Structure 1
Amino acid sequence: MKIAFLTPEFPHPKMGASGGIGTSIFNLSKGLMSIGHEVVLLVYGQKEDEYFTEEGIHYYRIKNVKLKGFSRVLTQKKIQRKINYLVKTIGIDVVEAPDWTGITAGIRPDCPVVVRLHGSDTYFCHLDNRPVKMITKTRERLALKNADGLLSVSQYTANVTKELFSLNKDFTIIPNGIDLNHFNADLSGTTDQNTILYFGTLIRKKGLLELPLIFNQVYKENQQAKLILIGRDTSDILTGNPSVWSMMQPLFNQKAFQNVSYLGSVSYEDMKEHISRASVCVFPTFAEALPVSWIESMAVQKAVVASNIGWASEIITDGQDGFLVHPHDHQVFAQKIVTLLSNEKLRNQFGEAARKKVEQKFSLQVVAAQSVDYYKQLLPRKA
């Protein structure tokens, strides 16, 4: 098959900043190519129009049309023309797009359109207890309504989305996948004792304003504990503060803060090394769909302490391959971390069970094969 992904982001130097949606599509693209399928990337919101190929992927950068009051509609028409051209010239079979902001609401190409839930703006505003713009919610609802196929990375995200948009359509659940060849379990001699790692965006919804309070409790029990933070700093949507990192720092106790290191962003290639060296990975998040970072940690056989909200039990089984705790329960969250730091046998037990689960459920090949089987079901509908 020839599968096209329409996306606002992708982890490539030419594409600008990228987050979880881009990483998910990057991983799925590798999985699809590994089992013999072709991938086309259409990345909108770019500074210029450009086509190039790299490592087997066909890239189309799409510059948005600028005309006050009509930019979105004209950009959608431009995207539709590009997709139809590719359907005619190279035989694209299906286009997949994320639910975020409902870009496909105004795009009806000559091939099936699949919308995969990674978490819409409406979804994340709901989890954050923030109002969503009505125009955004309307667009996202229309994109879901018009889609030929609906996927979701987690059952929780599907259930919440159906309720928020009053949908009577069903979603097929196919989780995010990761490259097990990159995030492997070869950890001999790499672990830094008493090191706690968080990696991901520094943002309120991921529990970064809870993490200092959790680490303060950890430090009370273990003065050797060290916290490493990796990820892009952001502004805070509620207060307007330009830096969540600056908001975090006063929350640490003075002595505990001496054991905290913020490394900023690192390359995807370097990330495995940082995960490998950690004793425990922590994710006290409030809002996710199905976080790839958790799965990457598990693939590298790391013990994880993470949020127990919604999607969490679809990745981690509490007490078997990690611990799940509500981010507001600082003392309990900290105690689980302390327990793992002091118990190498339990860390290894969790890590081995986590790796086995990732191999069975979240490998690129497994997720890609499930996606292809789903895409094929849609082809007769447009015949």
Structure 2
Amino acid sequence: MKKVFFATRARGFLNHVFKCNEIEFNFIIDNKNIYELNNQKRKILSWIGRSPVFDWLGIIQRINAKNKLGIINGSFNRFLKSDKPYFIYLENPTALYHYKLNRKKSLLGKSNINRYLNDTNLKAIICMSEACCDTFEQVCGNFEGQKKVIYPYVPSNGYVNELQISQRAASSDINLLFISQGIRFLSKGGLEVIDAFKLLCLERDNINLTIVTSIKDVDEKLIDEIREIPKVRLLDFQLSYEEMEDLYSKSSILLQPTSDESFGLTILEGMKAGLPVIATRLYAIPEMVKDGENGFLTNPHWWFFDKNNIPNSKVWNHREQTLYSGKKNDELIQFLYQKISFLDDHRDILNRMSLKSYEIANSSPFSKESIIQSWNSTLKSIENSQ
């Protein structure tokens, strides 16, 4: 089988692609380079890499992929030093310059990005979303190669089917689910979720909330407060993929009132289990959640990306004063409270939205079949470009 050498670290969700036997290329990657949460060493290196000094120097990381096995090289969010045709699988354009808006503005930074984009071995930018693809030139620069969207491959949830989803919607209890990875509990809307849940519990005794987060990365006093709230289950972000699938299948509604999102993998995973989603219309989220069809959307507290999906420097460069400030948004709290109450009172709509989420998530362009076809055709075109 033809080989693709994947030269960079990669998020855990890409394992589904790497291990898929129906993709006609064999991915070679060191298992040590698969991660979901950064360890302490990586956090320190990431902090150093985002230094303002490096902005001025215009330093853009390129990973060495020369003299490696395979006919194609690949990367996640990074340029490569490659002696073969290569592609980049891209979360959002700013990832190519370390999510630092000022790095692209420096003369050296702009020069380096243009030079790397014009590398004749860089054959394709594969974007995780339409939001990434549509804004690439404006945010990153001109690219003459192939540019397309292949959504993350999330397998169908084996714990659910349409009958089970309908039975779940008719159940007396409403089980809410909120997931926040890493240190982003505040920026994902965790405080608003907690306050909305407290309001719901004043008048309803059938509402439960499960929070999955990296407990050590959340303020200790806040964790203690959460543990004191009745009917809240707090789980550390160390569940296996199968355990997460089971958790999704036993939930009723996914809450993602985020101000800080480049894709929203949790949303797609929840939809695979037939969960309606109450979220914000930030970046790629409206590509999955159709307001009034399989969930409800509202404006985020902070526009990390603006309404045209361009990074908003007023938030992006001032996160401590915005995303991580701990300031609550009363409108977002009321929105969550009202929409959860509405779905609890109208189980027919909860059922319809649940089934619609399941349908969208298991149809093109999110289905296994369409994603495999896209990967096969894209990799073949890169191979033939030599």
- Give the TM-score, by structure 2 length: 0.70
1:246 to 220, 241, 266: 220
Cα distance in 1 for partners of 2:267, 2:375 equals: 21
Cα distance in 2 for partners of 1:4, 1:368 equals: 18
Cα distance in 2 for partners of 1:338, 1:221 equals: 10
Write the letter of the residue equivalent to 1:7: T
SS at match of 1:7: coil
1:275 positional shift: 1.0
Task: Quickly say closer, same or farther: Cα 1:220–1:359, change in 2 above 3 A.
Answer: same
Deviation sequence 1:207-247 (CA, Å, 0-9, x none) = 3343323333433443442211113246xxxxxxxx32536
* Structure 1 residues 258-273: aligned runs within 5 Å: 258-265=230-237, 266-273=239-246
Cα distance in 2 for partners of 1:131, 1:150 equals: 20
Matched, 1:22 2:25: no
Give the length in aligned residue pairs: 319
Matched, 1:112 2:85: yes
Unmatched runs of 5 consecutive residues or more in structure 2: 35-44, 46-53, 302-331
SS at match of 2:82: coil
Matched, 1:193 2:165: no
1:171 positional shift: 2.6
The answer to whether the Cα contact below 8 Å between 1:286 and 1:327 also exists between their aligned partners in 2 is: yes
Taking only aligned residues, the RMSD between alpha carbons, in angstroms, comes to 3.6
Write the letter of the residue equivalent to 1:98: F
Q: Which residue of 2 aligns with 1:14?
A: none
- Greater CA drift, 165-174 or 149-158: 165-174
Write the letter of the residue equivalent to 2:72: V
- Greater CA drift, 342-351 or 130-139: 130-139
The answer to whether the Cα contact below 8 Å between 2:75 and 2:87 also exists between their aligned partners in 1 is: yes
Task: Quickly say closer, same or farther: Cα 1:200–1:322, change in 2 above 3 A.
Answer: same
The answer to whether the Cα contact below 8 Å between 1:121 and 1:132 also exists between their aligned partners in 2 is: no
1:183 positional shift: 5.9
Task: Quickly say closer, same or farther: Cα 1:200–1:208, change in 2 above 3 A.
Answer: same
* Structure 1 residues 216-235: aligned runs within 5 Å: 216-233=198-215
Matched, 1:353 2:356: yes
1:341 positional shift: 2.8
Q: Which residue of 1 aligns with 2:71?
A: 93
The answer to whether the Cα contact below 8 Å between 2:157 and 2:245 also exists between their aligned partners in 1 is: no
Q: Which residue of 2 aligns with 1:151?
A: 126
Deviation sequence 1:267-286 (CA, Å, 0-9, x none) = 11111111111121111122
- Give the TM-score, by structure 1 length: 0.71
1:152 positional shift: 0.6
Cα distance in 2 for partners of 1:173, 1:278 equals: 30
Matched, 1:334 2:322: no
Unmatched runs of 5 consecutive residues or more in structure 1: 10-20, 47-63, 87-91, 235-242
Task: Quickly say closer, same or farther: Cα 1:200–1:184, change in 2 above 3 A.
Answer: farther
SS at match of 2:362: helix
Write the letter of the residue equivalent to 2:18: S
* Structure 1 residues 288-367: aligned runs within 5 Å: 288-328=261-301, 329-361=332-364, 362-367=366-371
Q: Percent of aligned positions with the same letter in both sequences?
A: 17
Cα distance in 1 for partners of 2:116, 2:88 equals: 8
Q: Which residue of 1 aligns with 2:4?
A: 3
* Structure 1 residues 127-142: aligned runs within 5 Å: none
